[in-house]
């Protein structure tokens, strides 16, 4: 394993548990609440996260980038958002624990990546969307500081070689939101990361 991604399965599980903690607190009337991602309400955000985990397993099983994108919005919740998401995290972690999975080259939509880099992207996605879910449901917005620090310190490595990257000023912003504000003195690591990720 690359030293940059040592412990990535544990970090992925931590990001999943942080999302789960907010998810369990969603009230019935909040499922249709808007999120910072303009195209998603809370229900669609949770489906995006759950389907994403399942799609990463699909890539490990030899799935293609085109099929990954085709399946991206398919319902993965089956009427049980919390249960479906929790299962998807557990199943995704188990898939990446299989021998050779972290070194396997995956046909990711933004370019071929190793399993460990793909899981680093997934961990980042889960962390940022945890904030989105918290904001949408008026839950505590503080992210795990260790995850925030690790992601910010490794952003270049996490998105290295991909066709689109939130750390590139020339990226297309088809998959990642554009930064919404200039940096300012005294901003926290979380505020800086969220700004870079278009929040």
Q: Above 90 in pLDDT, residue 83?
A: yes
- Torsion, Cα of 123, 125, 131, 133 (10° steps): -110
What pLDDT is stored for residue 88 in this prediction? 98
Number of Cβ within a 10 Å radius of residue 54: 17
What does the pLDDT average to over 143-163? 94
Can you spell out the DSSP letters for 123-157?
HHHHHHHHHHHHHHHT---PPPHHHHHHHHHHHHH
Q: Above 70 in pLDDT, residue 192?
A: yes
At 186, is the pLDDT very low, low, confident or very high (cuts 50, 70, 90)? confident
SS3 113: strand
Q: Above 80 in pLDDT, residue 175?
A: no
User: For the chain, how many residues are written?
Assistant: 199
Q: Above 90 in pLDDT, residue 76?
A: yes
SS3 11: helix
Separation between Cα atoms, residue 45 and residue 54, nearest integer Å: 14
Percent above pLDDT 70 for the chain = 90
The 10s digit of each residue's pLDDT in 107-126 is: 999 999 999 999 999 999 99
Q: Above 60 in pLDDT, residue 132?
A: yes
Task: Give the start-to-end residue ranges of the domains of the chain.
Answer: 3-196
Q: Above 90 in pLDDT, residue 143?
A: yes
| pTM for the model | 0.91
Q: Could you tell me which CATH number the domain at 3-196 has?
A: 1.20.120.450
Q: Above 80 in pLDDT, residue 84?
A: yes
């Amino acid at each position: 394993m690359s030293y940059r991604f040592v412990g990535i399965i544990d970090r992925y599980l931590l990001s999943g548990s942080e999302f789960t903690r907010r998810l369990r607190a969603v009230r019935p009337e909040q499922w249709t609440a808007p999120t910072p991602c303009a195209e998603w309400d809370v229900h669609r955000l949770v489906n995006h996260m759950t389907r994403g985990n399942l799609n990463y397993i699909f890539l490990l099983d030899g799935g293609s980038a085109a099929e990954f994108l085709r399946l991206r919005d398919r319902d993965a919740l089956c009427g049980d958002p919390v249960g479906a998401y929790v299962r998807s995290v557990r199943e995704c972690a188990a898939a990446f624990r299989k021998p050779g999975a972290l070194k396997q080259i995956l046909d990711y939509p933004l370019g071929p990546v190793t399993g460990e880099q793909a899981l680093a992207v997934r961990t980042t996605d889960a962390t940022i969307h945890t904030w989105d879910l918290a904001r949408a449901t008026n839950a505590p917005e503080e992210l795990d500081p260790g995850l925030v620090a690790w992601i910010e310190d490794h952003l270049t490595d996490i998105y290295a070689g991909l066709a689109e990257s939130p750390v590139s000023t020339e990226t297309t912003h088809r998959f990642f939101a554009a930064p919404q504000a200039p940096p300012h003195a005294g901003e926290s690591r979380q505020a800086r990361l969220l700004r870079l990720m278009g929040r």
